[in-house]
Amino acid sequence: MTSHRWSVESPDRFGVRSLWAAAQARARESDLDILTVTAVAGVAALAAVLRIGALDSVPRPGEGRNVAQVFGVDSMGMLLDANASPLAWLQAGGYTALTDAFVRHTTAIGAAREPMVLTAAITAVLLWFLSRRMGLSRLTGAIAVAVVAVSPMALGLQIGVRPENIAMPWALAGIILLWTPRKHRRLAPDLWATVFLVIAVITAPVALLLIVTAAWLLWRRGRRRLSLMLSSLFVLGTGIGMGAAAALAGLRIAAEGPSASTWVAADPAFAAAGVLATALALFSYRLRPLAVGVLALIAIAVIPGGPGTAALILAVPPAALLIAGAIERSSRPIRIPATVLAVALAAAAVPNWIDGLRMVTTTGVNPKPMADASRWLQENLPTTPVVTDSITWVELLRAGRTPTAATRPGDCTAACAPQSWLVVTPGMRLLLPNRPDLAEAAATGEVVAVFGTGYDRVEIHRPALAGAPDTEERQARMDAGMKIADSPRVAAPNTVDQALRTGRTDPRLLTTLSALAQTRPVRVTALPPVAGEDAANQPRRQALLTAAEEPADAIAQFFTSQNGVLRPESVTTTSEGVLIRYPAGTPAGLLIPFG
């Protein structure tokens, strides 16, 4: 009987070593997976941090309407416009209501943008999973996530309060589930993919263009019955969830915002690389399904007057994946031209990205002028309806104003514009070129209060009144003021005397003060300004009065006994005298007949 000798070549020995090597390979693979997931999570967190830094950046055209929709769901429990992407606002408003975003944030725009930060982080993670389903390397997926995280174009698009940002994770999730190398598999992933794509299209109708990618993936699997069934379910679900009116309203909202050329100018390197990579990806079997969807979005984005911003929001994340994927496919094996091109693109993009990110994260809206204007409205026009842009409308309601005393431009008809008080903010000024009725009302109305300077300037306009021109009104105030200042029965310090002689005193105050001086000597101690009104060149409508050897109650009674337009808004007795205050907005023609 021959004895068996153990050696390196022994089959049993070889089997043990193979198992050990396999275990070591699995351990290394697991470590690499953990490292990659950690890196992707870190990049997604970086994307969220950068977008949090841009929460209070300047609102973009069309964003105000969406902020109001989110606030309506959050704080009023209603959809302000049920035909305009209602599912998007139910999702965003539900998040802000659960997290008290409008309570925590200083500005309404910051609160409404917080859900967009969450969707951007989810999009980053799903983008990496999509890269893995496509068979791309871990590094390629991580690079794509990093590009989306730091690109100024991606940041500017993803931070906006728009339904497309909410639809993006749903669309990516559906495409991930459909992307499989296996022809036959369980039906559940395909059904879930169909549900996610239906939600994406109902949330933002422009997401329908990504169905090209989904259809290509189904067609490539060669299962006609499955394709017909899923297509029927998709059409049925979309039709039930979104009627024709809602689809048209969603496309109208999608067309609002800057043009595609504006976003391209913000990040030309990424735009050029994205178009080039999409074109090259059409020649790759692995990248082609995603490329046809991105190509459809790019084609729609460049149509003049089309949904440029909406299409680019959906195109940017997959375009970044195509850029990284095209570089990977063209660099296997290592090819010098592709590598040099990738390095050149990175070198050209990074400086522009640094400047763009610095500008977006450091340029914001100054909330103080709007807060001061809101306080002025609460003190002077607490129940008077005012018309303003949608974001300011939300700010006024957050400050305690009732919905009946604030109107959005979309709810103001051509007949209400000339008769309404206007709060002209930066957002309102962007809207005026598209609303000639409101533009004319703002141009002909009288500016009664101004807060802030430059871009953040907020003006309050009252409706135009029939009467004498401003020059005649001011001259009449000067004539009446000089007569009172020259009267031996009226005493006043130099500052008050100057205000009387230069026509900077309210005509109601001049009329009652003249009548009071006929009955007793009076001293005008001060003409206190009202915040914001001196900047608007409005006459002083407050006065602090005292009378020699006469109780203050007698002066107070004189003013409270006035009727009509001459009756003060308030009469307050203080230790320094009697403070008289008239309502905002001086009447026209009160002094001219007596000039």
Question: In this predicted model, what pLDDT tens digit does every residue of 332-363 receive, in sequence order?
Answer: 665 555 556 556 666 666 666 777 667 666 66
Instruction: Indicate if the pLDDT at residue 79 is higher than 60.
Output: yes
| Identity of the amino acid at 559 | F
Rounded CA separation 392/452 (Å): 15
More confident residue, 569 or 410: 569
Find, among 209, 206, 354, the residue nearest to 291 by Cα. Answer: 209
Compute the mean pLDDT over every residue in the chain, rounded to the nearest whole number. Answer: 81
Q: Are 214 and 174 in contact (CB under 8 A)?
A: yes
- Token reading at 9: 């070549």
Sign of CA dihedral 206, 207, 211, 213: positive
Instruction: Give the pLDDT confidence score for residue 594 in this predicted structure.
Output: 44
Q: What single-letter DSSP state applies at residue 588?
A: T
Q: How many CB atoms lie within 10 A of CB 474?
A: 16
Rounded CA separation 454/462 (Å): 21
Sign of CA dihedral 76, 81, 86, 89: negative
* Residue showing tokens 């692995």: 286
Rounded CA separation 142/150 (Å): 13
Question: In this predicted model, what pLDDT tens digit does every residue of 96-141 receive, in sequence order?
Answer: 999 999 989 888 898 999 999 999 999 999 999 999 899 888 888 8
Q: Which phi-psi region, left, alpha or beta, contains residue 537 (left: φ > 0; alpha: ψ -120 to 50)?
A: left
Q: Using the CB atoms, write b or e for 200-229: b if 16+ within 10 Å.
A: bbbbbbbbbbbbbbbbbbbeebeeeeebee
Q: How many CB atoms lie within 10 A of CB 115?
A: 22
Instruction: Indicate if the pLDDT at residue 551 is higher than 80.
Output: no
* pLDDT band (50, 70, 90) for residue 491: confident
Instruction: Give the pLDDT confidence score for residue 257 in this predicted structure.
Output: 66
Task: Point out the least confidently predicted range of 65-74, 106-115, 550-559.
Answer: 550-559
Instruction: Give the pLDDT confidence score for residue 170 in this predicted structure.
Output: 95
Instruction: Indicate if the pLDDT at residue 76 is higher than 70.
Output: yes
State mean pLDDT over 543-562: 81
State mean pLDDT over 59-65: 83
Rounded CA separation 429/442 (Å): 10
Percentage of the chain beyond pLDDT 70 is 81
Instruction: Give the pLDDT confidence score for residue 8 in this predicted structure.
Output: 46
* pLDDT band (50, 70, 90) for residue 6: very low
Question: In this predicted model, what pLDDT tens digit does every residue of 395-440 receive, in sequence order?
Answer: 889 888 888 888 888 887 777 878 888 999 888 888 888 888 888 8
Asked whether the whole model's pTM tops 0.85, one would answer no
Instruction: Give the pLDDT confidence score for residue 243 in this predicted structure.
Output: 56
Rounded CA separation 396/509 (Å): 30
Instruction: Indicate if the pLDDT at residue 462 is higher than 70.
Output: yes
Instruction: Give the pLDDT confidence score for residue 149 in this predicted structure.
Output: 87
Question: In this predicted model, what pLDDT tens digit does every residue of 253-267 receive, in sequence order?
Answer: 665 667 777 777 777
Q: Which phi-psi region, left, alpha or beta, contains residue 64 (left: φ > 0; alpha: ψ -120 to 50)?
A: alpha
**β-pair partners for 424:** 459
Instruction: Give the pLDDT confidence score for residue 221 in this predicted structure.
Output: 78
